[in-house]
Amino acid sequence: MNQKLIAIFLAVIMLMSILPLFFSGTSQQSSTDTDINYDDAPGFDIIPGAHVNHKFDSIADGLDMTPKGVTSAQYLDVSKIAGTPLQAWAANAIQPDSVYNAKLTKTFFVDYSDDVSWMELHTISPEVVAFSYWMSPTPYNGYQLLIRENGIYNAIGTPLIFGPQDKVEDTIDVLSGSAEKSDEFDHILSYADMDSEFQRVTTNTVFASQYYLDFKRLDNGDYSRTIVYLDVVNSTLDKMFQFEANSTERGVAYDITTDGNITKVVVTGNFYTIIGEPVE
């Protein structure tokens, strides 16, 4: 996985675990609570103003809310991978439940071309405001933003927007139609199925202009790993065909297709086997 992306995830997670939360507003939940009574926690409707309401079932849905300038994005259906090998493999890329004092069910992370900006989208269950925040003194474009620790902002809704103030506001601009959405990966994503529980797309490669990666659990308990390459280099393509030639000996199956500058490689088998198959 992209080391920079994971590093940013870990930095955010560390901040969430070591810095105290401060509260203003009407929720009575304390940041020191360990047993949250959801019956006593207010719902999202306690926050005034507009709320996010957008389809959020894939990486494409996340990018539909995201401003231009994206270099990497990642989507995880956290509830779908619970108790599976994929959960342990992707653990460092998932915010802890303590961020909201509720179960994180889906998450999306995006990294921008300026190398320092990021934004996340989350869904939680139940949809309650059981976390600590300051109420922003000035709404933005109809949304009452919540200020979290270390200057991180939240916009309430489905999904929740989470990140630095400028990126939360930029995302609201996309939702309101005053800014264009990210379209950097539209072409490559048109070759991918949008029903996988883990999806990632990036330009940070040396073996293709872009590549898309996903993992999906199959009905028989095996997994598929799909990679879609845009402008893959010849050495990587040659390697894929070499590994396809003796794939049955390793207990995996390859399906390689090409369409112009797109190459799609689907590998199926045991999870711990397919994650060892090369990507470049």
Predicted confidence band of residue 4 (pLDDT cuts 50, 70, 90):
very low
Domain residue ranges in the chain: 3-26+52-176, 205-274
pLDDT at 92: 85
Q: What is the mean pLDDT of residues 53-67?
A: 97
Domain 205-274 in CATH 3.30.200? The answer is yes
Residue 39 pLDDT: 67
- What's the pLDDT at 33? 37
- DSSP states along the chain: --HHHHHHHHHHHHHHHHSPP---SS----TT-SS--TTTS-BGGGS-B--EE---SSHHHHHTTSBS-EEEEEEEEHHHHTTSHHHHHTGGGS--GGGTTSEEEEEEEEEETTSS-EEEEEEEES-B--S--EE-SS-BTTB--EE-GGGEEEE-EESEEEEEHHHHHHHHHHHHTSSPBP-TTHHHHTTS-TT-SEEEEES--SSSSEEEEEEEE-TTS-EEEEEEEES--HHHHHHHHHHHHTGGGGT-EEEEEEETTEEEEEEEE-HHHHTTS---
Residue 120 has pLDDT above 50, yes or no: yes
* pLDDT value, residue 13: 33
pLDDT for 116 equals 79
pLDDT in tens, 74-96: 999 999 999 999 999 988 888 89
Confidence bin at 32 (pLDDT 50/70/90): very low
